[in-house]
């Protein structure tokens, strides 16, 4: 069996500068949509998480 | 001992043949590899041996010897546990897991096949013994034993055949589209895919099916999570999934349409061919643990009466 935390938000990637994290989840601010896409891909690949779009310029990376 | 020697050999051979017949060379039927083959062949032979010595033991009025048939029950349970354990151990190495329901079904299948070996050799032994009782010539006794064994093989293999998705539902190719970031198949939301590149790959190379249950019972079978996991696993192993461990975006997910019980699934394979996908889904076995009777016969007739 493999153990680990799942269904957990690992990171928030956003172009919305007003977003503030109130928990342990780190927030990454992107310059534009292209940067946001790249940043999300890099974090997802590193953490083996999945990128979900919350629209209005915010992505979350979730460990499933 | 000598008078039973031929009986035991006949029964043992028939039981072993019964086990061998169930080892089909088909990679959907795990395992078909040389090591497991030998293991299961030997275990099947032991089961056949237990069945074979039952009749001589009874004939010699050694009734206590029957208790060692209980050994057989223990032995078969071990076969089931062994299969379950080995499949559980390799589960983490699968890109798309089999799921516990599928593993349980496979393990039970292996247990049942050993019962088949035991019952076949038992029937052969009885057949031979009847021949002996009527003092038939040796060849005829063996033939009677073989005939008895064959009847049991035919009956039990027919019984164990089971049904596949094809028998309970219709499988049709489906359309993949995106509603914002939501992957949608024939109007059913499946999952949220953030990355634009992944969305593009889904639109370009993704293939999808819709599984339409034929009746209420089929609907509840398809609602079972284990059954859907089995479909996902079969589709991805047989078609070759285009996914690695760090790409959860491309994990096939079968979602249910709560309105009508239809199940939709999208998958990205190395070689997108929707006809192959339809075929694979059709041939997925219906798991025993997912079988339900949504509307019991008694309830049905009662509601019919009330309707009248």
Tens digits of residue pLDDT in B91-150: 888 899 999 999 999 889 889 989 999 999 999 999 999 999 999 999 999 999 999 999
* B192 contact residues in A (CB cutoff 8 A): 52-53
**Could you tell me if residue A35 is inside a domain?**
yes
Distance CA B82, CA A30 (A): 52
Give the CA distances from residue B62 to residues B25, B58, B114, in Å, rounded to whole numbers and listed in that order.
41, 6, 24
Asked if the C-beta of A52 comes within 8 angstroms of chain B's C-beta atoms, the answer is: yes
Give me the pLDDT at residue A16, please: 92
Give me the pLDDT at residue B297, please: 59
Tens digits of residue pLDDT in B137-186: 999 999 999 999 999 999 999 988 888 999 999 999 999 999 999 999 99
Tens digits of residue pLDDT in B26-74: 444 555 567 778 888 899 999 999 999 989 998 888 888 778 788 888 8
**Could you tell me if residue A32 is inside a domain?**
yes
pTM of the model: 0.86
Q: Which domain holds residue A23?
A: 8-63
> Cβ separation of B249 and A41 shorter than 8 Å?
no
Report the residue of A6, A28, A42, A51 to disrupt the B interface, i.e. the one with the largest count of B CBs within 10 Å.
A51
Which run of H or E residues covers position B233? helix B225-239
Question: What is the count of residue pairs from A and B with beta carbons less than 8 Å apart?
Answer: 39
Domain count, chain A: 1
Cβ atoms of A43 and A49 closer than 8 Å: yes
Which run of H or E residues covers position B209? strand B207-213
Which run of H or E residues covers position B178? strand B176-179
Arithmetic mean of pLDDT over chain B = 88
Give me the pLDDT at residue B308, please: 45
Which run of H or E residues covers position A10? strand A8-14
The ipTM of this complex is: 0.91
Give me the pLDDT at residue B305, please: 55
Asked if the C-beta of A12 comes within 8 angstroms of chain B's C-beta atoms, the answer is: no
Per domain, the residue ranges of chain B are 2-161, 166-290
**Could you tell me if residue A2 is inside a domain?**
no
> Cβ separation of A50 and B245 shorter than 8 Å?
no
Tens digits of residue pLDDT in A21-48: 888 899 999 999 999 999 999 999 999 9
The partner residue sitting opposite B246, judged by closest CB among A37, A40, A45, is: A45
Tens digits of residue pLDDT in B186-195: 999 999 999 9
The partner residue sitting opposite B181, judged by closest CB among A44, A48, A55, is: A55
């Amino acid at each position: 069996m493999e153990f680990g935390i799942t269904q957990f938000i690992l990171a928030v990637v956003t172009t919305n500068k007003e977003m503030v994290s109130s928990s342990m989840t780190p927030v990454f601010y992107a310059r534009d949509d292209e940067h946001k896409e790249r940043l999300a891909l890099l974090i997802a690949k590193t953490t083996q998480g999945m990128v979900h779009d919350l629209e209005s310029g915010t992505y979350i990376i979730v460990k499933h | 001992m000598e008078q039973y020697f031929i009986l035991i050999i006949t029964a043992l051979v028939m039981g072993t043949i019964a086990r061998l017949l169930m080892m089909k060379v088909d990679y959907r039927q795990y395992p078909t590899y040389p090591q497991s083959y030998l293991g299961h062949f030997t275990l099947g032979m032991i089961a056949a041996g237990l069945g074979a010595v039952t009749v001589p033991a009874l004939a010699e009025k050694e009734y206590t010897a029957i208790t060692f048939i209980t050994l057989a029950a223990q032995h078969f349970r071990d076969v089931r546990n062994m299969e379950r354990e080995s499949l559980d151990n390799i589960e983490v190495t699968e890109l798309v897991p089999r799921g516990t329901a599928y593993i349980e079904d496979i393990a039970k299948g292996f247990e049942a096949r050993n019962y088949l070996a035991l019952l076949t050799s038992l029937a052969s032994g009885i057949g031979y013994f009847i021949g002996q009782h009527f003092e038939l010539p040796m060849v005829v006794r063996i033939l009677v034993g073989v005939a008895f064994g064959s009847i049991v093989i035919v009956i039990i293999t027919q019984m164990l055949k089971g049904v596949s998705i094809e028998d309970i539902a219709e499988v049709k190719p489906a359309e993949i589209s995106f509603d914002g970031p939501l992957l949608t198949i024939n109007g059913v939301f499946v999952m949220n895919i953030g990355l634009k590149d992944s969305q593009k790959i889904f639109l370009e190379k993704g293939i999808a099916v819709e599984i339409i249950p034929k009746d209420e019972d089929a609907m509840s079978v398809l609602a079972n999570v284990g059954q859907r996991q089995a479909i996902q696993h079969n589709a991805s192993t047989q078609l070759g999934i285009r996914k690695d461990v760090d790409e959860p975006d491309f994990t096939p997910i079968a979602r249910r349409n709560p309105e009508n019980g239809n199940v939709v699934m999208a998958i990205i394979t190395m070689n997108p061919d929707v006809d192959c996908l339809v075929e694979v889904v059709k041939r997925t076995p219906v798991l025993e643990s997912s079988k339900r009777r949504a509307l019991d016969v008694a309830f049905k007739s009662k509601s019919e009466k009330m309707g009248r």
